[in-house]
Chains A and B, each alone.
Chain A
Amino acid sequence: MAHDKTLTLKVKRQKDASSAPYWEDYIIPYQPNLNIIAALMEIRKEPKTAAGAVTTAPVWEMNCLENVCGSCTMIINGKVQQACTTLVDKLQQPISIAPMTKFPVVKDLIVDRSKMFSNLLKVRAWIPIDGTYDLGAGPRLSEAERQKNYHFSQCMTCGCCLEVCPQVNDHSNFIGASAIGQVRLFNHHPTGTMNKDERLEAISGDDGVTTCGNAQNCVRACPKEIPLTEAIAEMNRDVTVFKFKKFFGG
C-alpha cells in the first residue's frame, strides 16, 4: 500500500572520533509498524538529505533486531534505547537519533563499548569450572533462586544503564550497574559463590559499587528490566562485610 506520508529523521553524524559532529536530516516514506532500524535502512536504499543532496548513509550497529543482542543502543528523541524495539508510531516527529554519550564515538551512531566487556573481565564474571570433561550433573538449584538469577543473566551489555548514570562521567571511572549485576549473578551461583571474594574485591575500589550515587536511573533505563538497584544495594553490603573481614584478617 502506498503512503504519501513521510517521516523526517534527524541523525547526529560524526566521521570519526576526532571530527566534529553534525546533524543531517532525511525524509523517508512512512509505513505502519516501522521501527527505527527499518527507518534507517530506508536511508541506505537512496542516501540523500532532506534538501535533496546526495550523501552517504549513516552507519550504526545492529544484529538480532529482537532485543536480545544489545547491539543497536542509541539515543532516540533524547532517550537511550534499542533502536529495534523503538516503534516510529509511538514517537514525536521529527525523530532525532544520536549515538550514546558515555562512550567514545567511532563513527556516526557507533560507539566503542569495549570498556563494558573489559569490566566483565575485571570482575571475573564466569564460573571457574574444573574443565569441560564430563563430571556429571551440575549443582542443584531451587527454581525460586533460579528465577532471581535469571533476571541478571539476561544482561546483554547494551550500555543503557551506563548512559543514564550520573556517576559515569569524565571525572569518574565508575564500573556501572551492568558489571555489578553480574557480580550479583555469579556470587549467587552455587559454584560461583566459592570465588565471591575475588569479585567483591574487584568492585571494592574507587570505581566500584560504593561510587553509586543511588540515582536509580539504571533500573528505569534497562531494556531487560533487570533489578539493578537491588543488586547494587546487596553488593554494597557484601563489599562492606568483605572489607571489614579483610581489615581484621578474617
Chain B
Amino acid sequence: MAAVAKNKNPRVIVVGGGLAGLMTTVRVAEKGVHVDLFSFVPVKRSHSVCAQGGINGAINTKGEGDSPANHFDDTVYGGDFLANQPPVNYITEKAPAIINLLDRMGVMFNRTPEGLLDFRRFGGSLFHRTAYAGATTGQQLLYALDEQTRRAESEGTVTKYEFWDFLGIIKDDTGVCKGIVAQDLRSMEIRSFPADAVVVASGGPGVIFGKSTNSVMNTGTAAAEVYQQGAKYANGEFIQVHPTAIPGIDKLRLMSESARGEGGRVWVPRDPAEKRRGEQVPVSERFYFLEEKYPAYGNLVPRDIATREIFDICVNQKLGVFGENQVYLDVTEIDKKLIDIKLGGILEIYEKFVGEDPRVTPMRIFPAVHYSMGGIWVDFAKSDSGSLIEENPRNHQTNITGLYAAGECDYQYHGANRLGANALLSCLATGYLIGPGVVAYAHNLEKPAKDLPSTLFESAQKKEQEYYSQLSKSTGTENSYRLHQELGEIMTANVTVVRENKKLAETDVKLQELTERVKHVSIQDNSSWTNQLVPFTRHLRNMLSLARVITLGALARNESRGAHYKPEFPDRNDPDWLKTTIAEYTPDGPKLTYEPVDTSLIVPRPRNYAD
C-alpha cells in the first residue's frame, strides 16, 4: 500500500465525461478521493456514444491463438511505429481485464452460444479480437461508466458540473497546476475551482475540419486552451480520416468498420458510366478494389490505407458511383438473421438519414475526418519489463506538473494511424491507469490547493471574466459560424488524405487571415443567459490555434507515414522522421521540436499489407 498521505483530503478535477474522463473519475472516487467532474454536456451525452464497432482485447475465445503480444504488434505496426512502445504494451496487456471489468459493470456485449463474450474481426488484424455490443459499443460502454459515476455521486465522492465549459487551468507561482476556471453555460457565471490535480479528458478536435464524424462539441477547445497555457502538443499532424461515412449537410455520419468486420465489401462498378442501382450490377461488373490489391486483409486493411484507396478510386481514377465521390459499402451478402443483431444500430442510422435499406441496396459512403492520433504530450513511467509502472504519478502527466491528459486528447497510443476498436481501449485503459497515479500524486502534495492564497484563484477568474466580457462586446461584420465553415473547408481540402507542401503553406496563411478576421466578429447575441454564440466564438479562436499546429506539423514532416501522406515524399523515412513532433505555443505560432520514439520492444519494419 501507498505511504501515509501528506495531503489527506485532496480534490481532483476531471474535465470531460466521455470514456476516459468517466473511467478516471470512477477510479479516483473508488480511492475515496473527491472528484469534481466538468462536462460541456450531461456526461451521458458525450461523444463516446458515437463509437460503434467495438473494443479490442486478445481474450482468444475463438481458438485462434491470439495473445496480447499479437495485439501489441498489430497496434505498433498499424501505427507505423510512431507510438512509444511501453504504453502500447501496457494497454494491450490490460485489454482483457478492461473488457471483463466493463462486462461486470453490465455492458450488454454480444455473446457466443455458450454465453461467453463474442468477438469479431476489425481492420489491421487477422484475429477475432473485437468485443462488441451490437453496433453501439461506445454508447453501451459509456452508459456503464455513466452508471458507475452516478453510483459514486450517490455516495458523495463525485460532484458533477454539467453544461460547463472549460476555460483554462490555474498555475501557482512555480508553474504547477492547481485548478481550473470554468463557465456555467446557462447562467454564464465564470468561476475558479481549486484542485490538487487536473485531468483533461476532453476528446478530439474533429470540428476543426468543419464536418467530420465527430459530435458538434468536439472543437478541441480544452486541449487548445492548455496548449496555449504551455502544455506541449504532440504529433498534431496525424489526423485519421475514416474510410466509410455517410456524407451529410450537417455532419458526416460514421458507418462502422464493423460492417466490413462482419463481411461487408467495398466496391465500385467497373464502368464509371454505370447507371443501375448497386444491387442490379452483376458481380462480374464490380471492382472489389481492396480485395484485389490486399488479398490477405481485403476490406479490413487499416483505415489510412482503405481511405487512400477509396480516395484514389474516386478522385484520381474517377470511378466513383454515379460519377460522384462515393463507393459502395455492401452488406447485402451478410446473413439476414445475424445482420440486425450484429449491425442493427448502424443500419438504422443509414436508413434514417439516407432513406434506403442497406440490407437490400449497397450503402454509398466516402471517407471523413474521424480521430486525432496526436494530442497533448504526456509522460509515462516505463517498467523493467517494458510496460508501465502502475500507480506512478508520471503516467499521463503533461509537461505541466499536476495536469494530466487522457483519451483522444492525448497522443500516446496510436502513432501515425489508429486501428479500429483501439480507441475505446485506449480511453478506458488510460482512465484505469491514471486514476491511482493521480491519487498518489495528490496525496503526496505538501499542501492542499485550497490552502493556497485566494488571490491566485481570484485573479485567474477575473482574467477570464474580462476576456469573456471583451469578447461578448465584439462588433464587426464577420459571423463566427461562417468563419468556421471557411476553416473547415480549407482544412478538409488541404490537410486530410493527400497533403502537398504548397497547399499546406497556403493553408497556414489562410489560418492566420481567419485568426485576424475572428477578431471582428459581430456578437449579435450578447445575452447573459444561455448564450451559445460567445462560447462558440471562443472555441473558434482555439480551433484556429490548433489548426496551425496540425497544418505546420504536416508541412514540416517531409515523409509519408500512416495517415500522413505526401505524394512529394511517398515513403516512410525512419532515419529522418521516426520522431515525435512537439508543438509549443508562442504568440507567433507553434514552435516545433522533435523527440525520439521509444522503439525498445519491437524493431521498426516496413509496413506492407499487400503480401
B438 at the interface (CB under 8 A from A): no
A127 at the interface (CB under 8 A from B): yes
A33 to B485, CA, bound (A): 19
B153 at the interface (CB under 8 A from A): yes
Q: Given contacts A63-B215, A84-B250, is CB(A70)–CB(B44) below 8 Å?
A: yes
Interchain residue pairs with CB less than 8 A apart (10): A16-B530, A35-B353, A46-B479, A55-B524, A61-B41, A65-B215, A65-B216, A87-B355, A110-B530, A132-B27
A67 touches B104 (CB 8 A): no
Instruction: Give chain A residues whose Cβ lies under 8 Å from the Cβ of B118.
Output: 143
Give the contacts of A100-150 with B (CB-CB under 8 A).
106-108, 110, 113, 117, 120-121, 124-129, 131-132, 134-143, 146-147, 149-150
Closest residue on chain B to residue A134 by CB atoms: B97
B157 at the interface (CB under 8 A from A): no
Instruction: Give chain B residues whose Cβ lies under 8 Å from the Cβ of A157.
Output: 42, 44
Interface size range on B against A:
35 or more
A33 touches B248 (CB 8 A): yes
Instruction: Give chain B residues whose Cβ lies under 8 Å from the Cβ of A166.
Output: none
Which of A37, A46, A125 sits near B250, CB closer than 8 Å? A37
Shortest beta-carbon distance from A32 to chain B in Å:
9
Instruction: Give chain A residues whose Cβ lies under 8 Å from the Cβ of B485.
Output: 45
Add 15 more A-B contacts to A45-B479, A137-B116 (CB < 8 A): A31-B249, A45-B481, A56-B533, A63-B45, A66-B50, A67-B352, A69-B49, A84-B250, A87-B355, A135-B104, A138-B103, A139-B104, A153-B107, A153-B108, A189-B106
B116 touches A140 (CB 8 A): yes
Closest residue on chain A to residue B528 by CB atoms: A16
Total number of A residues with any Cβ neighbor in B under 8 Å: 70
A66 touches B253 (CB 8 A): yes
Instruction: Give chain A residues whose Cβ lies under 8 Å from the Cβ of B46.
Output: 63, 69
Which of B106, B215, B479, B529 sits near A64, CB closer than 8 Å? B215
A72 to B117, CA, bound (A): 33
Per-residue 0/1 for A58-101: is the Cβ within 8 Å of any B Cβ (1 yes, 0 no)?
01011111111111000000000000110100000000000000
Which of B110, B143, B481 sits near A146, CB closer than 8 Å? B110
A54 at the interface (CB under 8 A from B): yes
Instruction: Give chain A residues whose Cβ lies under 8 Å from the Cβ of B530.
Output: 16, 59, 106-108, 110
A41 to B524, CA, bound (A): 15
A191 to B111, CA, bound (A): 17
| 10 nearest CB pairs, A to B | A138-B103, A126-B147, A140-B115, A56-B525, A38-B250, A107-B530, A127-B106, A69-B45, A143-B111, A138-B104
Interface centre among B104, B105, B352 (most CB of A within 10 A): B104
Instruction: Give chain B residues whose Cβ lies under 8 Å from the Cβ of A46.
Output: 479
Q: Given contacts A68-B139, A132-B26, A150-B134, is CB(A142)–CB(B111) below 8 Å?
A: yes
Per-residue 0/1 for B104-147: is the Cβ within 8 Å of any A Cβ (1 yes, 0 no)?
11111111111111100000000000000110100110011001
A237 at the interface (CB under 8 A from B): no
Closest residue on chain A to residue B113 by CB atoms: A143
Instruction: Give chain A residues whose Cβ lies under 8 Å from the Cβ of B116.
Output: 137, 140
A117 to B250, CA, bound (A): 28
Instruction: Give chain B residues whose Cβ lies under 8 Å from the Cβ of A56.
Output: 524-525, 527, 533
Query: Interface SS of chain A: helix, strand, loop or mixed?
Result: loop
A7 at the interface (CB under 8 A from B): no
Shortest beta-carbon distance from B118 to chain A in Å:
8
B44 touches A63 (CB 8 A): no
B249 touches A149 (CB 8 A): no
Which of B50, B104, B341 sits near A127, CB closer than 8 Å? B104
Instruction: Give chain A residues whose Cβ lies under 8 Å from the Cβ of B251.
Output: 65-66
Instruction: Give chain B residues whose Cβ lies under 8 Å from the Cβ of A117.
Output: 42, 44, 150
Interface centre among B111, B114, B153 (most CB of A within 10 A): B111
Shortest beta-carbon distance from B395 to chain A in Å:
16
A110 to B531, CA, bound (A): 12
Interface centre among B107, B114, B117, B248 (most CB of A within 10 A): B248
A240 at the interface (CB under 8 A from B): no
Which of B110, B117, B151 sits near A126, CB closer than 8 Å? B151
B610 at the interface (CB under 8 A from A): no
A140 to B109, CA, bound (A): 11
Instruction: Give chain B residues whose Cβ lies under 8 Å from the Cβ of A108.
Output: 530
A180 to B472, CA, bound (A): 44
B104 touches A129 (CB 8 A): yes
Instruction: Give chain B residues whose Cβ lies under 8 Å from the Cβ of A141.
Output: 111, 115
Shortest beta-carbon distance from A45 to chain B in Å:
5
Instruction: Give chain A residues whose Cβ lies under 8 Å from the Cβ of B254.
Output: 66
A233 at the interface (CB under 8 A from B): no
Instruction: Give chain B residues whose Cβ lies under 8 Å from the Cβ of A44.
Output: 479, 481, 533
A214 at the interface (CB under 8 A from B): no
Instruction: Give chain A residues whose Cβ lies under 8 Å from the Cβ of B50.
Output: 64, 66, 68-69
B249 touches A126 (CB 8 A): no
